[in-house]
Amino acid sequence: MVDGVLVLDKEIVVPGQELAEGMDFLPGSNVLRDGNKLIATKLGLVQISNRLVKLVPLVGGYFPKKGDMVIGKIASISTSGWRVDFGWPFEALLSIREVSNSYIPVNGIEDMIKIYNFDDAVIVLIINVFGNKIIDVSTKAPGLRKLGPGRLVKIEASKVPRVIGKQGSMINMIKEYTNCKVLVGQNGLVWLSGPDIESELLAVKVIKKIEDESHVSGLTDRIKAFFEEKK
Amino acid sequence: MVYDKRFDGRKFDQLREVDAKIGVIPNATGSAMFRIGKTIAIAAVYAPKPLFPQFLQNDERGVLKCEYNMVAFSGSGERVRPGPSRRSKELSLVIEKALMPVLDLKEYANCAVDVNIELVQTDAGTRCAGICAASLALADAGISMSDLISAVAVGRIEDKIVLDVNKEEEDYEKGMADIAVAYSLRLDKITLLQADGELTKEQLKRVIEMAKFGCNKIREVQIKALKDKFMVK
Amino acid sequence: MKNSIKEHLFNLYGKGMHIDGRRLDEYREISIEYGISAKSAEGSARVKIGKTEVIVGIKLDLGEPFPDRPNEGSIIVNTELRPICSWKYESGPPGTDSIELSRVVDRAIREAHYLDFKKLCITPGEKIWMVFIDIYPLNDDGNLFDASALAALAALMDTKMPALIDGVIDYKQKTDKGLPLKKDIPVSCTIVYCDGYMIIDPTTEEEQFIDARLTIGFLDNGNICALQKGGDVGLSEEELMKIVELAERKTIELRKYLK
């Protein structure tokens, strides 16, 4: 172990736990410096590379960020836009201008409903966040749209990167083995649609398994083995 | 009159059996059960939640809202009438103050972080059990914390300082002093201190030492419970 | 135009399945634990149906009988839908949801005379036993009605009477005596009606789309002891009788879970 480091790399640590001692260490995300010591501020996996000590949380909710794609439901409609509930205390605004690059004639609410209706599930892009309260979203970019028939599964936001995998490796494996269409929102909502219920339930099971074992190394291989067994 | 043997036979610096479990309420962002002796507290954190009325919203950080409640059948004698009482409102407030010093709620600006504590069975030390459960639930919810908070009730019975009083000791017929203490080991700071009864200054010092000792033992159980969440089944 | 999540769910109902793959007439995993608050409650129980969890505690007290029932003890059912169990509840006095739940649980127990109220009388016209049944959902993942009703029955069965010394209750002393319960247990089953499908044990996400709901209490002898319909949509007589038949089958199953 490196001098001054008090924990193992990829060890599970708790808030308040001392991770390293020495002024030449740098606190990364979810790590604070208290005098000479670096302290964990969340329950998670510590990652040490050279003198940088950071923490990947294994728990915790989603915080909206510009550039994130999130899945939500249309909560209200006006003639200037829609409000989207994506599991945050404040609803996002999808303005009529952010739906298409071409002009959309709108004569009343009925025209708005034809585009997105109450309770429709949608995948949107966050284009602006201000003070947690104002969240502007858009469906202009490719892939953003109203979601077709399927189910919504809620996962912990902290597990989203594992469910997607490096460059989509994990999510692609899930799609391949289950023949399901899968879309993962950064907010932890996953939309799934499969050829039959068995495929969908298998996808749900695997996603839950990834959530439970996200902190254990070799996850990709284990999931692959899990699928091979099920064949 | 000398209190040289505790009613339940424990040593003066001995805690009752302590047990904690994380993630007991699936709907919540974070949750925990904490049991000390026969006192059982369950805490759930729901975060972030909308905060109303609007004037309460703080655009620099989230607002912690703690609620302590005893279920109707948790009292030692008669049924506890459901609903807030002066006592439960006071305890909700002191519990909130006990947790705040270690919390960083910047990420939750303009929102609320709700902590709901229910006492399912009580045998003294309820606010302390509530704090221990809440601290675990906050960690389980991924709230940024500079330390865990542990809490325990210490008693002065006759001239003895006893750790983790139970109801029988609380009801000692000659009277006693009952002191609730919440503590952060890393910060070495006391975040809750309430005392009922008479104490000399010297006794207070001994009470604090005993409380720190007890809190540190409880902290070990809390840490283990958090790590156990990730034991692969 | 149906929304896509609803459409997908109703497709599954059409194939005879819940969102989680169960058959429409199948309960999630059920477990009952007795004496979960044994130190303070006279009787208590915890019921889990899938992820839904409800605890119930029984407290006994002395009181005066109602003037129109001078020889009978009483039961008082109260439900607290606390924010601990779900994002949707706020702290406050019981709203219509918790009041309805309390009254539905009460109805099956009271109308079946599950407790022999006369045996709960101490001095006619003056003193009776009051049995408080307090229901606390700890995690709401749908079907609180059935979980609460089952937990209330289990808690009643778990109860031991406290000692009565010189007309005063000594809560610290429990006797061996249980409540005066009849052998025939009134078991309730709630059936929800959704897009024409009859469904047992909906989860929270399924509860969003309910048209109607019917809770039926059945006795072992096959008689109905309580009925409660909820929801905005009406039921035809034919639909009603089909629901009743299904509920009877399911209550026979549920009865086996109670000791």
Q: Is B120's Cβ below 8 Å from some Cβ in C?
A: yes
CA distance B27 to chain C (A): 6
Sign (positive or negative) of CA dihedral B196, B202, B208, B214: negative
- Write out the H or E segment, with its range, that includes residue C254: helix C237-255
CB spacing of C93 vs B83 below 8 angstroms: yes
What is the mean predicted confidence (pLDDT) over A176-195?
Answer: 96
Confidence at residue B1, expressed as pLDDT on a 0 to 100 scale: 66
User: One-letter amino acid identity for C188?
Assistant: S
Q: Which residues of A touch C1 (CB under 8 A)?
A: 117
Confidence at residue A107, expressed as pLDDT on a 0 to 100 scale: 86
CA B121 to CA C38: how far, in whole Å? 8
Residues in contact with A169: Cβ distance below 8 Å, sequence separation at least 6, in sequence order: A220
Q: Is A201's Cβ below 8 Å from some Cβ in C?
A: yes
To 10 degrees, the CA torsion angle through B71, B176, B192, B185?
Answer: -110
What is the mean predicted confidence (pLDDT) over A164-177?
Answer: 95
Residues of chain B with pLDDT under 70: 1, 232-233
Q: Evaluate if residue A74 carries a pLDDT over 70.
A: yes
- The answer to whether position B159 is within a domain reads yes
- The answer to whether position B100 is within a domain reads yes
CB spacing of B232 vs A213 below 8 angstroms: yes
Q: Which residues of B touch C141 (CB under 8 A)?
A: 26-27
Q: Which two tokens stand for residue A23?
A: 């002024």
Candidates C1, C2, C8, C87: best to mutate against A (most CBs of A within 10 A) is: C8
CA distance B194 to chain A (A): 24
Residues A181, A189: contact at Cβ < 8 Å?
no
CB spacing of A151 vs C4 below 8 angstroms: no
Residue of C nearest to B120 (CA): C37
Confidence at residue B231, expressed as pLDDT on a 0 to 100 scale: 81
CA C45 to CA C38: how far, in whole Å? 9
* % pLDDT > 90, chain B: 96
Confidence at residue B233, expressed as pLDDT on a 0 to 100 scale: 55
Considering only CB atoms, A16 lies closest to which of B143, B146, B229, namely: B146
pLDDT along chain C (259 residues), means of 10: 84 96 97 96 98 98 96 97 96 93 95 95 96 98 98 98 94 95 95 93 95 93 91 89 93 92
CATH number at residue B41: 3.30.230.70
Q: C-alpha angle with apex B197: B195 to B203, nearest 5 degrees?
A: 75
CA C12 to CA B30: how far, in whole Å? 32
Residue of A nearest to B232 (CA): A213
CA B89 to CA B68: how far, in whole Å? 7
Q: Which residues of C touch A149 (CB under 8 A)?
A: 4-5, 7-8, 11
**Touching subunits for chain C (3+ Cβ pairs under 8 A):** A, B
Q: Is A149's Cβ below 8 Å from some Cβ in C?
A: yes
Residues in contact with C151: Cβ distance below 8 Å, sequence separation at least 6, in sequence order: C32, C45, C46, C47, C54, C55, C56, C135
Residues C153, C56: contact at Cβ < 8 Å?
no
- The answer to whether position B11 is within a domain reads no
Candidates A13, A19, A59: best to mutate against B (most CBs of B within 10 A) is: A59
Q: Which residues of B touch A132 (CB under 8 A)?
A: 48, 108-111
Q: Is B71's Cβ below 8 Å from some Cβ in C?
A: yes
- Write out the H or E segment, with its range, that includes residue C218: strand C212-218
Q: Which residues of C touch B25 (CB under 8 A)?
A: 53, 84-85, 138-139
Domains of chain A: 12-57 (2.40.50.100), 69-146 (2.40.50.140), 151-230 (3.30.1370.10)
Q: Is C144's Cβ below 8 Å from some Cβ in B?
A: no
Q: Evaluate if residue A230 carries a pLDDT over 90.
A: no
Q: Which residues of A touch B233 (CB under 8 A)?
A: 212
CB spacing of C3 vs A193 below 8 angstroms: no
- Domain span holding position B27: 18-228
User: One-letter amino acid identity for A169?
Assistant: S
Cis peptide before B101 (omega within 30 of 0): no
Considering only CB atoms, C41 lies closest to which of B49, B69, B73, namely: B73
Considering only CB atoms, A57 lies closest to which of B48, B142, B232, namely: B142
Q: Is C58's Cβ below 8 Å from some Cβ in B?
A: yes
Confidence at residue A1, expressed as pLDDT on a 0 to 100 scale: 54
CB spacing of B77 vs C171 below 8 angstroms: yes
Count structural domains, chain C: 1
User: Tens of pLDDT along B2-24?
Assistant: 899 999 999 999 999 999 999 99
CA distance A131 to chain B (A): 7
pTM, two decimal places: 0.96
Confidence at residue B53, expressed as pLDDT on a 0 to 100 scale: 93
Complex prediction ipTM: 0.95
CATH number at residue C51: 3.30.230.70
| Interface size between A and B, measured as CB pairs under 8 A | 89
CA C1 to CA C3: how far, in whole Å? 7
Q: Which two tokens stand for residue C196?
A: 């024409």
- Domain span holding position C45: 4-255
Confidence at residue A91, expressed as pLDDT on a 0 to 100 scale: 97
- The answer to whether position B91 is within a domain reads yes
Residue of C nearest to B35 (CA): C37
